[in-house]
């Protein structure tokens, strides 16, 4: 019954620890952090794409510039009118393309600036969330410390108690405990089981009181201490 009391105590302590408000807040905060982190990755890749596209346009711009200079040089040394006309048309076409490339690059630079702004905002948000996380963890740890200390003491007590039990009895206890997901033993309290609170019939009661000192509750199947001094 002392072991049962220790197991109930461990369940209560775990509930207390899980029930600390910081725990839920921390879970919510971690979800929020993951969300902002995803946003950060998205904006980083957008920034990178813009940078790449700008680089390509700049390369194209350089190549158009070189081609224009070449066409211009050819005009200067052109032999006839037809050649000049063709080269002039080429120059005009190159100039139109350059204008378009410059316009596109400008648009992309605006996007890049916006992405950089969002990057900075996201970074700030992440830093703020990280500070909140640290505060919550520290508050959770200090409030949880008392509960954890008691848990540690109860676990030590549990070790001593299990070490003192005969192996066969401990095995029966652990089986019942695992089946019930809580404590493995109860005692006869008046005419009912202290574990499941179900009242026994006269027949069940007679069978229990005439049976071994440690029987089994026919309802919840916990070990049932029928007689002897009950420690609660
Ligand atoms: Zn029972």
Encode pLDDT of 53-65 as tens digits.
999 999 999 999 9
| pLDDT computed for residue 23 by the predictor | 86
Instruction: Tell me the pLDDT band of 231, cut-offs 50, 70 and 90.
Output: very low
C-alpha torsion angle, residues 181, 182, 186, 191 (rounded to 10):
-70
Closest CA relative to residue 157, chosen from 12, 2, 11 = 2
| pLDDT computed for residue 143 by the predictor | 86
Q: Return d(Cα 26, Cα 31) in angstroms, integer.
A: 9
Percent of the chain residues past pLDDT 70, beyond the cut:
98
Give me ligand 1 centre to Cα 76, in Å. Answer: 108
Interval 144-196: pLDDT, tens: 999 999 999 999 999 999 999 999 999 999 999 998 878 999 999 989 999 99
Written as six digits, the tokens of 197 are 């609170």
Instruction: Tell me the pLDDT band of 228, cut-offs 50, 70 and 90.
Output: low
Q: Return mean pLDDT, the chain.
A: 93
Give me ligand 1 centre to Cα 216, in Å. Answer: 8
| pLDDT computed for residue 207 by the predictor | 92
- pLDDT higher than 80, residue 227: no
Across the range 3-20, mean pLDDT stands at 94
| pLDDT computed for residue 86 by the predictor | 94
For 2-164, CATH gives: 1.10.287.1490
Give me ligand 1 centre to Cα 179, in Å. Answer: 12
- pLDDT higher than 60, residue 129: yes
Question: How do the domains of the chain map onto residue ranges?
Answer: 2-164, 167-225
Give me ligand 1 centre to Cα 162, in Å. Answer: 21
Give me ligand 1 centre to Cα 203, in Å. Answer: 16
Give me ligand 1 centre to Cα 148, in Å. Answer: 30
Give me ligand 1 centre to Cα 153, in Å. Answer: 28
Q: Return d(Cα 67, Cα 92) in angstroms, integer.
A: 12
* DSSP, res 212: -
Give me ligand 1 centre to Cα 222, in Å. Answer: 6
| pLDDT computed for residue 79 by the predictor | 85
Q: Return d(Cα 85, Cα 201) in angstroms, integer.
A: 115
Instruction: Tell me the pLDDT band of 232, cut-offs 50, 70 and 90.
Output: very low
Across the range 12-40, mean pLDDT stands at 93
- pLDDT higher than 70, residue 93: yes
| pLDDT computed for residue 229 by the predictor | 46
| pLDDT computed for residue 78 by the predictor | 85
| pLDDT computed for residue 95 by the predictor | 96
Give me ligand 1 centre to Cα 232, in Å. Answer: 16
Give me ligand 1 centre to Cα 152, in Å. Answer: 28
Give me ligand 1 centre to Cα 219, in Å. Answer: 5
């Amino acid at each position: 019954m002392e072991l049962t009391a220790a197991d109930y105590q461990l369940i209560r302590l775990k509930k207390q620890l899980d029930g600390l408000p910081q725990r839920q807040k921390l879970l919510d905060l971690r979800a929020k952090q993951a969300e902002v982190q995803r946003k950060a990755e998205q904006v980083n890749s957008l920034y990178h794409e813009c940078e790449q596209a700008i680089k390509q346009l700049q390369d194209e711009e350089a190549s158009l510039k070189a081609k224009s200079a070449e066409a211009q040089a050819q005009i200067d040394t052109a032999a006839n009118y037809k050649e000049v006309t063709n080269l002039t048309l080429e120059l005009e076409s190159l100039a139109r393309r350059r204008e378009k490339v410059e316009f596109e690059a400008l648009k992309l630079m605006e996007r890049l600036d916006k992405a950089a702004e969002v990057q900075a905002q996201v970074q700030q948000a992440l830093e703020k969330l990280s500070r909140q996380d640290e505060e919550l963890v520290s508050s959770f740890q200090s409030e949880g410390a008392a509960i954890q200390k008691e848990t540690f003491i109860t676990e030590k007590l549990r070790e001593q108690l299990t070490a003192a039990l005969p192996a066969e009895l401990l095995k029966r206890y652990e089986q019942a405990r695992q089946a019930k997901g809580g404590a493995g033993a109860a005692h006869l309290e008046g005419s009912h089981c202290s574990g499941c609170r179900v009242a026994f019939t006269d027949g069940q009661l007679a069978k229990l009181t005439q049976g071994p000192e440690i029987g089994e509750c026919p309802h919840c199947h916990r070990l049932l201490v029928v007689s002897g001094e009950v420690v609660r």
